[in-house]
Amino acid sequence: MSGHSRSRSIGLIAGLALAIVLAGISERLFAEPVTRPAPPNFVGSESCAGCHPGQAALWRKSQHSHAMAHATETTVLGDFNDARFEHFGVPSRFFRRDGKFMVETDGPDGKLTTFEAKYTFGIDPLQQYLIEFPDGRLQALTIAWDARPKDKGGQRWFHLYPDERIGHDDVLHWTRLNQNWNFMCAECHSTGIRKNYDAKADRFATKWAEISVGCEACHGQGSNHVAWAHARQSGWPSEKSLDDTMGLLVRYAERSNIGWTLDPNTGNSARSAPPAMLRTEVEACGRCHARRGQLFEDWVPGHWLSDSHVVSPLGRGLYHADGQMRDEVYNYGSFKQSKMYAAGVTCSDCHDPHSGKPRHSGDNLCLQCHSADKFAIASHHRHAAVDPPLGCASCHMPVRTYMGVDRRHDHGFRVPRPDLSAQLNTPNACNDCHADRTPQWAAAAIDSWHGPSRKGFQTFAPALAASWAGRADSSKLLAAVAADHATPDIVRATVLTELNAYVSAETMEQAKAGLSNPDPMVRIGALDLLEGGPPLQLWAIASPLLSDPIRGVRIRAASLLALVPAAQQPVADRPRFQSAAEEFVAAQRLNADRPEARSALGRFLLHRGQMTEAETEYKAALRFSPAYAPAAVNLADLYRQGGREPEGESVLRTALIAAPRDAELHHVLGLTLVRLKRYDEAIAELRQATELEPDRARFAYVYAVALHSAGRMADAISILKQIAARHPHDRDTMMAVIAFSRDAGDIDTALDYAERLAAAFSQDAGLDRLVRELRQRLPNPTAR
């Protein structure tokens, strides 16, 4: 019997014994009339500690309890004894004055200024410091304290961007948008946050119920639970057996609405009976351990994370094609694609939920479930001679370092795949250590040990890699992944979003199937796919999701269906659309301090025909971040629609001052200049876009078309051939080579590219006809 099975058996025996103890109090509790108390509020962790001293003791030593604190002699770890640090010529000094912790560094204008470090932020392996500004902003210094021991390279000041010069006008500067605590950090480092941003005054009045991550950050507001507990204390068992009464209390809570919403023994919701696939503990942890954005401040434990947040799928730039973490993604997305998650494992199987520490040391954590005589042996790991010994995590949870010193394990629990590294250039655990060897060498070693069919659980990498590379077989591969019910739902959500670029009758059917998936992320991915479909079909397919039980799905449906003019909306459906639209607007207003939200709202209003209001939102986005290209592009397009091209040009040129190397801005400016008939200037901008992002096939294609229109046919064909060599499956580029070469009388070249394209898109009868036509135009048609 495995250790995991033994623990379940012991738990069952203990549960039977406990039933006898509880029988005496259950009849009285459940016989009492159910009351409906007032909506709960926050009471603070110390209110919980009186009845739960064991959990409170573990929590007080955890990183959660030290996630944020007032800067005091006790909480500050950094050296503020006139310590000095320099980064790209900018000197900084850390010192004390009148009992306060001070830093002299470059301020919002780039000049050296003295600030008070008012709060500490985190504790291990690094600690940051927060500076308060008069408008209510708290900003996180990007010079942090390395809290690791000296023998680990720590106990020093360091910069989070050691290899970059971050000027005062850079969005990553500590005084700027992307280091703002109120939006970027507050929800996950404190409890009961209310951002309270006043858009008109451009000020924050952010409040918290508890400065750090307390009990109610995970369990929900506890006032009703505490009131109920105090009213019944005399009838409870002894303190030692108090935690064993949890099942009884949870059942009573379900009837009484006392606010206790997570059962730590099972990870299930006490308030409702969720679908079997909803692991509420994973969703609760994901609130902060996911790459996500906030839609709604009143998060409720026991609900899908998508009800209050928009969760990032496995998008390019965040993950590698095989799902390994790339950017900082905080483990939720990694874990939900894992075999462990599919098998029913939850966070607290490995981590104590109150201390945050692993339940066991080293490989013993994995051997709770995995038999030692099968896995903790040399014939499995093949590294018996390695000193110090490698653990399970070395191969199955590779480490990546974030924020300079923070080493984090990938929670995808994947089988190492150096064969995929050889094909797709993804990383693998083997070559993390054997960096002097090739992936092919590592793949051959694994095949010799375990056989060539050992391919692991995550099988979607080729499909995502194909889509990200724009290959002709992308649609087919993605559709196969989406249709495979063994695929993790977060992956299905991802591939449905990717299929947005490959809309067809088949993929529309995939979207329809995804709209009924139990996981809201999949339903949202299906809505993403539909955005690329025919607008006239959208309402019939997507409108039922305006009444979806999950807020994030309703909001995505409203943003999609905003494309449908109000006059074309069925009268009976308009109230549902209006309700979901109000939720969408409220989510953007919650984040009205961010250019992304203001731009999203502008786009929504533009779809609804409210051009003046949309213009206001786009302008607000650019005030927050003059370099935010999507807002500049959308505002310029709004002006185009209104026949105000010169104003659009002005917007784009202003944005380019802040972001001179943004290829999208140069590209759109080039198109604007084409419409203004200033062709030489247009070609120069289109060329700049192509040079800045040579792998964006669309940019090169448009540049080549502009050259062709200007009579520079040879240059146009040369550009197209270059991009076709990098993107041999880009249909527009290949068709342009064919057309331009044919027009130039170069039938051989046109036919060559037509045959390549026909081979890539083998089901396209139109390409076959094109090949036949070109062959007929050869001087000797039978020669090929």
Q: Which amino acid is residue 316, in one-letter code?
A: R
Contact 4, 10 (CB under 8 A): no
Residue 607 Cα distances to 334, 349, 647, angstroms: 35, 47, 20
Q: Is the predicted pLDDT of residue 432 greater than 50, yes or no? A: yes
Contact 502, 475 (CB under 8 A): yes
Residue 226 pLDDT class (50, 70, 90 cuts): confident
**How far is the C-alpha of 312 from the C-alpha of 37, rounded, in Å?**
37
Q: Which residue, chain included where needed, has tokens 């703002």?
A: 180
Paired tokens of 464: 């995502």
Of 47, 471, 413, which Cα lies nearest the Cα of 229? 47
Contact 92, 105 (CB under 8 A): yes
Residue 291 pLDDT class (50, 70, 90 cuts): very high
Instruction: Give the CA-trace dihedral at 171, 174, 176, 179, to 10 degrees.
Output: 90
Q: Collapsing DSSP states into helix, strand and coil, what is residue 695?
A: coil
Peptide bond into 125 cis (omega under 30): yes
**Where along the chain do the CATH 1.25.40 domains lie?**
714-784
**How far is the C-alpha of 34 from the C-alpha of 421, rounded, in Å?**
60
pTM of the model as a whole: 0.89
Q: Residue range 209-238: average pLDDT?
A: 81
Burial of 435 (C-beta count, 10 Å sphere; 0-12/13-18/19+):
exposed
Residue 325 Cα distances to 290, 483, 612, angstroms: 12, 24, 41
Q: Residue range 748-760: average pLDDT?
A: 90
Q: Residue range 604-613: average pLDDT?
A: 96
Lowest mean pLDDT among 303-312, 397-406, 437-446, 470-479: 470-479
Residue 245 pLDDT class (50, 70, 90 cuts): very low
Q: Which residue, chain included where needed, has tokens 């070559």?
A: 431
DSSP string computed for 70-113:
E--TTT--S--SSEEEEETTEEEEEEEETTEEEEEEE-TTSSEE
pLDDT at 361: 94
Question: pLDDT (tens digit, 9 = 90+) per residue, 511-555?
Answer: 999 999 999 999 999 999 999 888 888 999 999 999 999 999 999
CA 130, distance to chain mean position in Å, is: 24
In this structure, whether the domain defined by 714-784 belongs to CATH 1.25.40 is answered with yes
Helix or strand holding residue 418 (H, E): helix 418-424
**b or e along 160-183 (b: 16 or more beta carbons within 10 Å of the residue's beta carbon)?**
beeeeebeeebbebbbbbebbbbb
Contact 348, 267 (CB under 8 A): yes
Of 173, 131, 176, 172, which Cα lies nearest the Cα of 624? 176
Lowest mean pLDDT among 141-155, 452-466, 710-724: 452-466
Contact 727, 740 (CB under 8 A): no
Q: Is the predicted pLDDT of residue 250 greater than 50, yes or no? A: no
Burial of 364 (C-beta count, 10 Å sphere; 0-12/13-18/19+):
middle
pLDDT at 314: 97
pLDDT at 266: 40
In degrees, rounded to 5, the angle at the alpha carbon of residue 267 between the alpha carbons of residues 263 and 270 is: 45
In degrees, rounded to 5, the angle at the alpha carbon of residue 179 between the alpha carbons of residues 175 and 181 is: 105
Q: Is the predicted pLDDT of residue 18 greater than 60, yes or no? A: no
Q: Is the predicted pLDDT of residue 566 greater than 80, yes or no? A: yes
pLDDT at 511: 95
User: Residue 616: which residues within 8 A CB-CB, separation 6 or more?
Assistant: 602
Residue 87: how many other CB atoms lie within 10 Å: 20
Higher pLDDT, 239 or 677: 677
Q: Which residue, chain included where needed, has tokens 């509420």?
A: 280
Q: Which residue, chain included where needed, has tokens 């391919």?
A: 455
Q: Is the predicted pLDDT of residue 731 greater than 50, yes or no? A: yes
**How far is the C-alpha of 507 from the C-alpha of 519, rounded, in Å?**
19
Q: Is the predicted pLDDT of residue 236 greater than 50, yes or no? A: no
Largest Cα separation within the chain, whole Å, is: 102
Contact 392, 364 (CB under 8 A): no
The 3-state secondary structure of 199-246 reads CCCCEECCECCECCCCHHHHHCCCHHHHHHHHHCHHHCCCHHHHHHHH
Q: Is the predicted pLDDT of residue 782 greater than 70, yes or no? A: no
Of 286, 219, 261, 320, which Cα lies nearest the Cα of 521? 286
pLDDT at 762: 78
Q: Residue range 277-303: average pLDDT?
A: 91
Q: Is the predicted pLDDT of residue 262 greater than 60, yes or no? A: no
Lowest mean pLDDT among 104-113, 295-304, 546-555: 295-304
**How far is the C-alpha of 103 from the C-alpha of 87, rounded, in Å?**
14
pLDDT at 38: 75
pLDDT at 276: 44
Residue 333: how many other CB atoms lie within 10 Å: 29
The length of the chain, given as a count of residues = 784
Strand partners, 120: 69, 129
Helix or strand holding residue 310 (H, E): strand 309-311
Residue 13 pLDDT class (50, 70, 90 cuts): very low
Residue 360 pLDDT class (50, 70, 90 cuts): very high
